[in-house]
A and B are shown apart, each in its own frame.
Chain A
Amino acid sequence: MWIYEKKLQHPVRIEKCDLRMAKYLYTQYGGPDGELSAAIRYLNQRYTIPTKEAKALLTDIGTEELAHVEMIATMIYQLTEGASVEELEAAGLGSNYAIRERALFPADANGVPWTAAYIQAHADPVADLHEDMAAEQKARTVYENLLDLTDDPGMKDALRFLREREVVHFQRFGEALRIVQEYKESKKIF
């Protein structure tokens, strides 16, 4: 069960219209290292993870990732909301307009639709948690790339917040991995 809160996790204040940036932001909406991939990855892995700490962590971080999907979507929505067709075309969003006008769609920056092929699950907690840690590092580096591409203070604030969350999640997954390894050691069956 999930409950919706009518608020963003962190404020989004877009000060200038930058359609080029809206296109790039799509990578964190429906791209391989994006927030949707993260949410689905963790919420799907939790069913077969053995320790209570990791069950809670995958549930909680997976839930937080849904709030990040909302932040990224809000940024894209606000950046594209009032744009003219000519402006969208000039920013490389003409093909998106042709298919769906100004509707959002979980795709990467090149318009490639989101796919579950971006994520994995193995029931092996060591394999799964390593994937999760790698995913957080990949998302961190994507946020750093995006930060290089904008100088808008509002955009930078939101991107910095999201980048920092990747660092915290990596740390927590590392702790969950240590606990899982201790658990496996205590069972000594392979």
Chain B
Amino acid sequence: MKHHDREALLRQIQEVEFATLELNLYLDTHPTDNNALIQYNQLSNQLLMLKQQYDMCYGPLLNFGFSPSQYPFRWIEGPWPWERQY
């Protein structure tokens, strides 16, 4: 997979997760807004699928068992978010 494909998928994850984070904060103070909650659950499913796709193609996105890994353990592979190649 090419570098820009990884970047594009990552960007998509960042966008969807930004929406779920924003809805999460909103729902913290508006827990009975059902429309927001429906949107939150829909985006949460979408986010899960995107993350699974990322894990399979580019290695684990999350640590501690939240992302499976191929052999050898791919979690230790860069680029890390602070590195320029990221």
Contact = CB atoms under 8 A, between A and B. Distances in A.
Interface residues of B, number: 27
Given A3-B64, A5-B61, 18 more contacts: A3-B63, A6-B75, A6-B81, A7-B10, A9-B17, A11-B11, A53-B31, A57-B25, A60-B28, A73-B82, A74-B82, A168-B25, A169-B25, A172-B25, A172-B26, A175-B29, A176-B28, A176-B29
Contacts of B4: none
Contacts of B29: 53, 57, 172, 175-176, 179
A179 to B, nearest CB: 7
Most buried by A among B14, B18, B21, B25: B25
Q: How large is the interface on A (under 10, 10 to 19, 20 to 34, 35 or more residues)?
A: 20 to 34
A81 B83 CA distance: 10
A73 B63 CA distance: 21
A8 B81 contact: yes
Contacts of B18: 9-10
B24 A60 contact: yes
The dominant DSSP class at the A interface is helix
B82 A70 contact: yes
Nearest to B13: A7
13 contacts: A4-B62, A6-B62, A6-B63, A6-B75, A6-B80, A8-B81, A9-B14, A9-B21, A10-B18, A61-B25, A70-B81, A172-B25, A172-B26
A3 B62 contact: yes
Interface of A: 3-11, 53, 56-57, 60-61, 64, 70, 73-74, 77-78, 81, 168-169, 172, 175-176, 179
